[in-house]
Amino acid sequence: MSSHASTRLSVLVLGLAASGSSGFISTLTMPGVVTPTTRAPDELERYTMGQFGKVLDIRLTVGGRDTDQLFVVDGFQFELGESSDVEREGRLLSVPLPGTNGPNPQLSRGAHAIETTKDGTFISLEGLQTVELRDGSWEMVWRQDSIAGILVCGFNLAEDARRNSGVLEKGAIYLTFPVYTDEGLASVQATKSMKQAAYDMHKKERDEQLDLVRSAPNPLMKALHYRNAYQSLESMHGTGLSRLAEVPSTEEDVVEIGEGLRAVKTGTLWTTAKGRAFSSSAMAKNDRKLLGIATIVAIDV
């Protein structure tokens, strides 16, 4: 095979290797066009009230793939309160939230207070360190006819948390977890399963054609099998599986939270870029900075 053809084949293989892989869960991805007239489902009030009093045990994984910048905050526990007294005389007593304090507050049933019951900790060279997240508030945001909503919890971190070269900077910190109804999750998982089967079939066809590219006796046959491999690649992308990458695949990926709802255990840890609030322009620019992963370890109902 010529070096040029070999390069093209390598690009094809590498491109396929990344297909279908899932990165971080989007912080506030809600499919469909959202306008001031977009409504929340009628059940959102009941969904929200059903979370009052629940205590979440959360693990925060801060940083990216560089292990020197990665550290884990364990044992952070807080209660989702019922009180909506998060504002006094026009002044917020807690951090702003993307639904309640954003451009489409009608998709939330308002902010509710959070009580931190146990601070998270991590170990640094200086020993056991405590991460004090305060001024907490939470909300559930849901767009009518959307397959999933989101649970958003916001806190204020008074001081930077540091471990080696990793740092969780002080300021507003948010945790977001996708939430599904039992019926909605079952439906989208069935769709994902069908798309996965089609994806795997086309992937097998691609692999077979790539093997034939390598073993073909002449350039004409190599080109033919290369074309077939590329067609299989297009069919893989055509399944739409990548659009369902964030859908949990197993029961171990979700946790029951009552009211016929299941929360995805793995969510996101993020903040707003440059500390901006949730204005229409900031949201349009996707003005959020990913800090790491938030994981629900347990929920005490």
Contacts of 221 (CB under 8 A, 6+ apart): 212
Residue 35 falls inside a structural domain: no
- Residues forming beta bridges with residue 90, ordered by sequence position: none
Whether 114 and 154 map to the same domain: the answer is yes
Domain carrying residue 242: 183-249
The CA distance from 99 to 160, in Å, is 26
The CA distance from 188 to 183, in Å, is 9
Residue 213 falls inside a structural domain: yes
The CA distance from 229 to 222, in Å, is 10
Whether 109 and 151 map to the same domain: the answer is yes
Residue 167 falls inside a structural domain: yes
Per-10-residue mean pLDDT of the chain, 301 residues long, equals: 44 37 39 64 95 97 76 96 72 81 91 95 92 95 92 95 89 96 95 97 97 95 96 97 92 93 96 67 64 95 73
pLDDT at position 286: 58
The CA distance from 117 to 76, in Å, is 8
What pTM value is reported for the model? 0.81
Whether 239 and 133 map to the same domain: the answer is no
pLDDT at position 36: 64
Whether 104 and 244 map to the same domain: the answer is no
Number of folded domains that form the chain: 2
Residue 154 falls inside a structural domain: yes
Whether 60 and 153 map to the same domain: the answer is yes
Residue 20 falls inside a structural domain: no
Whether 216 and 171 map to the same domain: the answer is no
Is residue 254 within 8 Å of 185, Cβ to Cβ? yes
> From the centroid of its chain, how far is CA 229?
32
Residue 260 falls inside a structural domain: no
pLDDT at position 280: 55
The CA distance from 264 to 8, in Å, is 39
Whether 149 and 188 map to the same domain: the answer is no
- CB-count burial class (<10 Å; 0-12, 13-18, 19+) for 131: buried
Residue 13 falls inside a structural domain: no
Whether 139 and 107 map to the same domain: the answer is yes
Alpha-carbon Rg of the chain, whole angstroms? 23
User: Which residue type is seen at 2?
Assistant: S
Tokens of residue 116, six digits: 């931190």
Q: DSSP letters along the chain, please?
A: --HHHHHHHHHHHHHHHTTT---SPPSS---S---TTPPPPTTHHHHHHTTTT-EEEEEEEES-S-GGG-EEEEEEEEEE------EETTEESS---TTTTSS-GGGB---EEEEEEE-EEEEETTEEEEE-EEEEEEEEE--TT-SEEEEEEEEEE-S-EEETTEEE-SEEEEEEEEEEEHHHHHHHHHHHHHHHHHHHHHHHHHHHHHHHHHH-SSHHHHHHHHHHHHHHHHHHHHT-GGGGTTS--SGGGEEEEETTEEEESEEEEEEEGGG----HHHHHTT-EEEEEEEEEEEEE-
Whether 187 and 233 map to the same domain: the answer is yes
Give, in degrees to the nearest 5, the angle at Cα 157 between 85 and 89. 30
Whether 49 and 192 map to the same domain: the answer is no
- Residues forming beta bridges with residue 289, ordered by sequence position: 271
The CA distance from 74 to 211, in Å, is 47
> From the centroid of its chain, how far is CA 199?
23
Residue 266 falls inside a structural domain: no
pLDDT at position 12: 40
Whether 145 and 172 map to the same domain: the answer is yes
Whether 132 and 168 map to the same domain: the answer is yes
